[in-house]
Amino acid sequence: MFRPVQGPAVWGYIIGALVASGVIFFLLTLIPGRFRKPLIALITFLAGLFYALEFFWPTGRDDTNFLTPFIDPAGQMAQVLQAFALGLGVYSLVSVHLRSIARQRSGWGFSVVLFAALFAIAISGLLNAYRPNRYNQNVFNFFFVGGLQALDSTMFSIIAFYIVSAAYRAFRIRSVEATILLSSAFIVMLGQVALGQALTNWLPAEGFGANLRVENIRTWILTRVNSPAVLAVDFGLGMGALATALRLWLSLERGSYFDREL
Partner 1 sequence: MFDFLTDPAAMGKAIVWFAALCTLGLYTILYRENVVFRFFEHIFLGLATGYAIYATWNDVLRPRWWTPMVAEGRWWWAFALSAGLLFYLIYSKRYSWMSRLIFAVFFGFAAGQAFQFFASTYFPLIRSAINNPVVGVPVPTAINNLLFIVILVSVMTYFFFSFEQRGGVARVSRMGRYLLMFAFGAIFGSTIMARMSLLIGRVFFLLDTWIRQTILGGA
Q: Which stretch binds partner 1 (CB under 8 A): 58-66, 188-196, 199-207?
A: 188-196
96 binds partner 1 (CB under 8 A): no
Selected binder of partner 1 within 69, 87, 132, 204 (CB under 8 A) = 87
- C-alpha closest to that of 30 among 19, 39, 43, 41: 39
Cα Rg of the chain (Å, integer): 28
C-alpha to C-alpha distance for 35 and 198, rounded to whole angstroms: 71
Q: Are 141 and 121 in contact (CB under 8 A)?
A: no
User: 192 or 201: whose CB is closer to partner 1?
Assistant: 192
Selected binder of partner 1 within 27, 88, 194, 195 (CB under 8 A) = 88
Who's near 114: CB < 8 A, 6+ residues apart? 97
Q: Which helix (H) or strand (E) holds 126?
A: helix 108-130
Query: How far apart are CB 102 and partner 1 at their closest, in Å?
Result: 17
C-alpha to C-alpha distance for 215 and 206, rounded to whole angstroms: 13
Q: Contact letters (x/-) for partner 1, 120-159, by CB under 8 A?
A: xxx--xx--x----xx--xx-xxxxxxxxxxxxxxxxxxx
210 binds partner 1 (CB under 8 A): no
Selected binder of partner 1 within 65, 101, 203, 249 (CB under 8 A) = 249
Instruction: Tell me which residues in 221-240 interact with partner 1 (CB under 8 A).
Output: 221-222, 224-236, 238
Instruction: Tell me which residues in 16-75 interact with partner 1 (CB under 8 A).
Output: 16-18, 20-22, 24-25, 28-29, 36, 39-41, 43-52, 54-56, 74
C-alpha to C-alpha distance for 196 and 46, rounded to whole angstroms: 57
Selected binder of partner 1 within 66, 70, 77, 172 (CB under 8 A) = 77
Query: How far apart are CB 58 and partner 1 at their closest, in Å?
Result: 15
User: 65 or 184: whose CB is closer to partner 1?
Assistant: 184
Burial class of residue 115 (count of CB atoms within 10 Å of its CB; 0-12, 13-18, 19+): middle
- C-alpha closest to that of 216 among 254, 187, 185, 177: 187
